[in-house]
Amino acid sequence: MIKPDAVADGNTGAILKMIEEAGFKIVAMKLTLLSDERAGQFYEVHKERPFYNDLKKYMSSGKIVAAILEKDNAVADFRKLIGATNPEQAEEGTIRKKFAKSIEANAVHGSDSDENAQIEGSFFFAGTEQFA
C-alpha cells in the first residue's frame, strides 16, 4: 500500500517505479479511500497499541494506493525494499528512507507474511478476478 502522505505528496509514480525496478510485478492495483472503520479493520492487529487511533485517522486522511505484487520471495524482498518502520532507521536506498516523514507517516505498507499478504490482498480485491 502507498499511504496517504505519499499519495498526497505526488510520490505514487516514483514509488511504483522503485517497486517495478526492484523486480516486482503489479498484479492488481487501485487508488481508493479507507474509512476510519476500514482503516481500523486493516490494522486490527495493532488495536491495543497507543498509536492505534492516530493510525486510523492518518490512514483514512486521504487516498491510498493498494496493490498486489508478485515476485519470488516477495514478502521478505518487499520488506527490505521499503526499509524500517521508523524512517530514521531505514537504510539508504529504501522507499521509507526516501519518502517517509515520520514513524507514522511512513509512505508505504508491506505485508509481513505470505498469510497476511493473502488476507490483505482479499481486503482490497475480494471479488475481483484480475489477479487470479
What torsion, rounded to 10 degrees, do the Cα atoms 51, 52, 54, 57 define? 160
In angstroms, give the least distance from the CB of 111 to ligand ADP.
8
The one catalytic residue among 109, 116, 117, 123? 109
* Burial annotation 43-55 (CB, 10 A radius, 16+ → b, else e): beeeeeeeebeeb
Is 46 noted as a catalytic residue in this protein? no
Residues 34, 57: Cα–Cα separation, whole Å:
10
From residue 67 to residue 86, what is the string marking binding to ligand ADP with x (rule CB under 6 A)? ------------------x-
Contacted entry of Mg ion, ligand ADP, none for residue 55, CB cut-off 5 to 8 Å set by kind: ligand ADP
Strand residues in 4-119 grouped as ranges (E): 25-32, 64-70
Q: Is 112 a binder of ligand ADP (CB under 6 A)?
A: yes
In the bound state with ligand ADP, the residue whose beta carbon lies nearer, of 46 and 47, is 46
CB nearer ligand ADP, residue 52 or residue 131:
52
Active site residues: 109
Q: What residues make contact with ligand ADP under the rule CB under 6 A?
A: 46, 51, 55, 85, 103-104, 106, 109, 112
